Structures are given as structure tokens and as C-alpha cells.
Amino acid sequence: MIETRQFEEITQINMSCEIDGKPVYWVAAYLVDGLLIDTGCSYTAHELLHVLEKHKLHSVVNTHFHEDHIGGNDRIITHSRVDIFAHPDSIPFISGGFPLFPYQELVWGYPTPSKVKPIPVSVDTHRFHFQVIETPGHSAGHISLFESSKGWCFSGDIFAREKPKFIRSEEDIGETLRSLKILYNLKTDRLILLTSLGRIVEKGKEALQNCIHYLEDLSQRAKDLQKRGLTVQDIIQEIFGGEHDFAILTNGHYTTENLVHSLLKVF
């Protein structure tokens, strides 16, 4: 299932697999002036090609290697013969594949390995100039794209919501905070976050600041509770009222426990 909508000169492409005719989980790609940012999951790759047929595509960027961001790569390369770029740390996973949890296979499917190139320091289209910004934390090799004249920031998964309550086991909150601060400190009066969840946050600096303060406060609270002798499980109960339902839905991949462990490591 694919839905599109326009925001300024950008086409947002929202994609989801269907179960009983209903979308399961939306993920967004963005098309602007011939540049496609992310390619969704493998289940919607054929539909994505139909959308792209109406546009002149000249290049593709993967913000990171996760299966819901690279699933259309192989078909795009085959049919459009354009170059796809990603951070060097993402390339081994995109080209070589990686294991998935059962819920990931159900919702997004295995992406076909694809050949991509190391992304340069910037990406230019006919009308726009995109600065490539390294924003690790959600994953290794995560990048964001920033177009300063418009204030657009294609932030991938480094920013999803102001108050996250669960993360993947491999995520690093310390790195995430550093990345969020890099985006917050971009020299622009207008910062619009175009997220992979489909949220377009027009008050981007305010949202980033809220998220930064939230995570820093959580880290301090968790550390204070640990100093008082509370265990990680005690801290989860004290701050969040227990483990999040996503722990069960994702086979223990996304958990509040992961978040607390990472918060306790923040310097």
C-alpha cells in the first residue's frame, strides 16, 4: 500500500504492507527534484516503481541500512539504473544482508542485497544542495540530509518522537543525543524535520530541544535511582510503570529495558 502527499516541493511516499487490507506500519520515503531518500520495504517495492515512473529519478540515498529503508533498492537499480548512495558503515549490510526478527520479516520482509556507493559530503540536484550529516545512534552509518536554503532536514530514524520509551538493543542514546544536538545546532532559522515515520515537524528545533531535554533528564533520573540501589527492572517500573508492550510485539527487540541500559551509559 502506498499513499503520497505533497509538502512544498517534496513528494512524501508513505508505504506499508497490508494484512486483511489494512496497513500495518507506515514508513516514509521522500522524492525531491529527482532525488529519492530511502526506498521503503521489499513488500512495496513494485508499487514504489509505479510512483517513480511519473518522475525523472537521478539518484537515491539510503539514510541507513534497516530493512524498511532499503527494500526498493534492487528494483530501482534494475529498472531505473541510477546510483544509490549510503554511509560506508551501512554498505556491508545493504550489499550483504543481515538477519531479521520474525516481526521484521512479517512487516517489512527481507530486502534483496543491492550494490550501493559511498555517499559524498553533499548531494546536488538541479535545484537543491543537500549537506550530508553523520547522525549515528539509531544505527551505525546513519545519515541525515540538510537543505539549508529551505530548512529541510531528512532525519531518517534519528528523530522519531519527542519522548521515546523503547529502543533497539543496538541503539546508543549517547550517540543519539550527540546527533540530535548536531541537528539542533544547524545554522538556520527554519528547521523542518522530515521523518521516516511520515511525521513532518515544522517546528524542528523545538522538537529536537524537547527530545534532548527529555533524554538527558531520563538519563539523570535513571542514574540517581541506580545510585540508590535500584536494579534496572526497578528503574523501569519507577520511571515508566513497567515494560512497554512493544517488547512482546517485537520479540524483545524494542524494549524499555534497552532504553534504560543505554541511558545509564550516557556521559
Model pLDDT, residue 21: 87
pLDDT-based confidence at residue 54 (cuts at 50, 70, 90) = confident
Mean pLDDT of the chain: 96
Binning pLDDT at 50, 70 and 90, where does residue 190 land?
A: very high
- Section 103-123 average pLDDT: 96
| Segment 109-128 mean pLDDT | 97
Cα-Cα-Cα-Cα torsion 24, 30, 34, 35, nearest 10 degrees, comes to: -110
Residues belonging to the chain: 267
Contacts of 203 (CB under 8 A, 6+ apart): none
What is the share, in percent, of the chain residues with pLDDT greater than 70?
Answer: 100
Residue 20's pLDDT is 87
Q: Which residues contact 127 (CB under 8 A, 6 or more apart)?
A: 9, 33
Average pLDDT estimate for 50-71: 95
What is the spatial distance between Cα 29 and Cα 209, in angstroms, rounded to a whole number? 24
**Amino acid letter for position 20:** D
pLDDT at 81: 85
Q: Whole-angstrom Cα distance, residue 37 to residue 228?
A: 46
Per-residue pLDDT of 197-244, as tens digits, reads: 999 999 999 999 999 999 999 999 999 999 999 999 999 999 999 999
**CB burial class (10 A; 0-12, 13-18, 19+) of residue 27?**
buried
Average pLDDT over residues 54-60: 93
Distance, in Å, from the CA atom of 77 to the CA atom of 48, rounded to the nearest integer, reads: 13
Query: How many degrees, rounded to 5, is the angle at CA 80 between CA 74 and CA 84?
Result: 55
| Nearby residues of 145 by Cβ (< 8 Å), 6 or more positions away | 37, 61, 63, 123, 130, 131, 132, 133, 152, 153, 154
CB proximity list for 174: less than 8 A, separation 6 or greater: 137, 262, 265, 266, 267
Residues 3-37 pLDDT 10s: 999 999 999 999 999 988 899 999 999 999 999 99
Tell me 257's DSSP state.
H
- pLDDT at 19 (0 to 100): 87
* Contact (Cβ atoms closer than 8 angstroms) between residue 57 and residue 36: yes
CA–CA dist 88, 91 (Å, integer):
5
